[in-house]
Structure 1
Amino acid sequence: MSDGVEFAPRPLDRDAPFYVAGHRGLVGGALWRTLDGNGFTNLVGRTSSELDLTDRGAVFDFFATEKPTYVALAAAKVGGILANSTYPVEFLSVNLQIQTNVMDAALEHGVDRLLFLGSSCIYPKLAPQPLKEEYLLTGPLEPTNDAYAIAKIAGILAVQAARRQYGKPWISAMPTNLYGPGDNFSPTGSHVLPALIRRYDEAARTGADVVENWGTGSPRREFLHVDDMAEACLFLLENYDGPSQVNVGTGSDVTIKEIAETIAEVVGYEGEVRWDTSKPDGTPQKLMDVSLINDAGWTARVGLREGLESTVEWYRSHQGELRG
């Protein structure tokens, strides 16, 4: 698949302005740490209170002032099954506004290299496993997060449109389920892994006899440490160009029940576990085919047990500053 963009990937200029949209979030924060650790000297970030990315005029003014050479678009309204099911209007509208404003401003002000961050939920609910990049738009989405998925699909198409119409070497990366330092551990807004960490840690600390989880525990999920994701982002910016979105993951998965058991071991919970089968499971399996990025020269490094232990340690040491 080619769109005629003439660009040879190369090392990024460490002194050029690099705007990380969403630098206080899970992915943006990890990317900021990775860029800083790799010698980038001109990182640009704004909190949501400093710059509302849904305010089109403010975004254009920001780009006119800062003139970033590179942009990583990691800002998004995100949440788990409950949040996505309850607020589909916000998940669609807010994400479309953020993406459109940032990309239009990036076009207006000549941004050289832009990386758009999506999600594995862009793929059809019942797509063959593992999920290949080519499965995009081949079937119905998972209903519990279809609004968010549609927004992310629109972002991918916006990147492809910028490539076709303006010859911009912009790219998209689709991570699998992410976890790690800076995650959202909110009881109502978190994804499955941080939700489980919070639930089991609280049970271990309070001496609870029972932990109850949603669903059957049978769905299979792939988990990638956010530091690996950040490394992958920098790798792609310096080594990949093409119109297709690129899957980023480990290439292996576990059941929700298995991940829950591992978290229980890590936090020291030894009580009973019950599964509320009246609650939704979501997609039965989401495993990414990561052949494209692996063949380009990148593979994940952080093992799941190792990543969980460090994430629990971070969670326990940041109790007073957690989101939500």
Structure 2
Amino acid sequence: MIGKRYGLAGKRIFVAGHRGMVGSAIARKLAERGAQVVTRTRSELNLTDQWAVREFFSAEPIDGVVLAAAKVGGIHANSIYPADFIYENLMIECNIIHQAFASGVRRLLFLGSSCIYPRVVAQPMREDALLTGNLEPTNEPYAIAKIAGIKLCESYNRQHGTDYRSVMPTNLYGPGDNFHPENSHVMPALIRRFHEAVEVGAKQVTIWGTGTPRREFLHVDDMAEASLFVLDLPLEGYQANTMPMLSHINVGYGKDVTIAELAKLVARVTKFSGEIVFDTTKPDGTIRKLMDSSRIEAMGWKPSVSLADGVRETYRWFLDHVASA
């Protein structure tokens, strides 16, 4: 590898969104590597408040930032609250990225989403597919906000010489996920639905859509490792593996499954033995979302948690936290 790594030990790293699934995993792994993790709860710091964020960066000596804070949700939540999704995410990104720059923070990592890519795009999705077509309508406001975050990092790098990087994860899951019955993503939604079906002895579970769309799933611990891997890369090594005028790197598992296959896996893990029915009157969303993660793999990172093992671990966590999950 070219150049000297950033070095995480001893650095004061602000993790925005440390209570979320990804942020908590990143904060934990940063601490394991000797970093001083700086956090604020939502009641302590409203990230959509420009003045509050400026005051925080003025008062705290920060060496680096991991921007994992975001308003997230599945198809249902995105459809019902589009204004909330675009407004809150834009405000969080603008406030943190600008105030990090204004206070002299040189290294920042922004976490995006695979929904930034067009609805119809060659699979697996390469980084240069960004802005080449129309987005999936069901989550377009959220996707536009995430694209803006990428472009904010890229623009500050170009104009101000900062070293702000972006990673684009595929669908994430794992301990700490949101298991809300209406506002969660597909993996935790299925785990909760099948668990509750077993609890009440239901003979049937209904899934939205046809079951044919394909999705890729990455365990949150793998995403945390990938995030620190990219954050720690020397600038020369990072630039050597990105295309000109491009500042984001895909992070995926490398394989995808149909929603029907995922449902069968979750059914096995939760010990549901009834019938799985698909409600074809409900939307499928994007037909396929598989990331091309060849760039980060070429740098030396690969995922380590299999889908089956990850689902089992996630279900165990859900059982331990079912009252609050």
Work out whether the TM-score is over 0.5: yes
Q: Is the 8 A contact 1:9 1:238 kept in 2?
A: no
Q: Is the 8 A contact 2:111 2:166 kept in 1?
A: yes
Q: Is the 8 A contact 1:159 1:170 kept in 2?
A: yes
Q: Is the 8 A contact 1:9 1:237 kept in 2?
A: no
Q: Which secondary structure does the structure 1 equivalent of 2:27 belong to?
A: helix
Residue equivalent to 1:25: 20
The CA deviation at 1:241 is 2.6
Which structure 1 residue ranges, 5 or more long, are not aligned?
1-6
Match among 187, 190, 198 for residue 192 of structure 2: 198
Match among 211, 214, 220 for residue 220 of structure 1: 214
Give me the whole-angstrom Cα distance separating, in 2, the residues matched to 1:266 and 1:310: 10
1:77 and 2:48 matched = no
Match among 303, 311, 314 for residue 314 of structure 2: 311
1:268 and 2:271 matched = yes
Q: Is the 8 A contact 2:8 2:33 kept in 1?
A: no
Residue equivalent to 1:3: none
Q: Which secondary structure does the structure 2 equivalent of 1:36 belong to?
A: helix
State how many pairs are aligned.
Answer: 315
Q: Which secondary structure does the structure 2 equivalent of 1:241 belong to?
A: helix
Q: Which secondary structure does the structure 2 equivalent of 1:212 belong to?
A: strand
Give me the whole-angstrom Cα distance separating, in 2, the residues matched to 1:301 and 1:188: 30
Structure 1 pair 246/56, CA: closer, same or farther in 2 (3 Å)?
Answer: same
The CA deviation at 1:9 is 5.4
TM-score (norm 1): 0.95
Residue equivalent to 2:301: 298
Structure 1 pair 262/102, CA: closer, same or farther in 2 (3 Å)?
Answer: same
TM-score (norm 2): 0.95
Residue equivalent to 1:185: 179
Q: Give the alignment of 1:1-324 within 5 angstroms.
A: 8=3, 10-40=5-35, 42-239=36-233, 241-242=238-239, 243-322=246-325
Amino acid at match of 1:169: D
Q: Could you give the per-residue CA deviations for residues 258-292 of structure 1, whole angstroms, max 9, x where no partner exists?
A: 00000000010001111000000000000000000
The CA deviation at 1:206 is 1.4
Give me the whole-angstrom Cα distance separating, in 2, the residues matched to 1:9 and 1:159: 22
Which structure 2 residue ranges, 5 or more long, are not aligned?
240-245
Q: Is the 8 A contact 2:153 2:247 kept in 1?
A: no
Q: Is the 8 A contact 1:9 1:241 kept in 2?
A: no
The CA deviation at 1:238 is 1.3
**Sequence identity percentage:** 54
How large is the Cα RMSD of the aligned pairs? 1.1
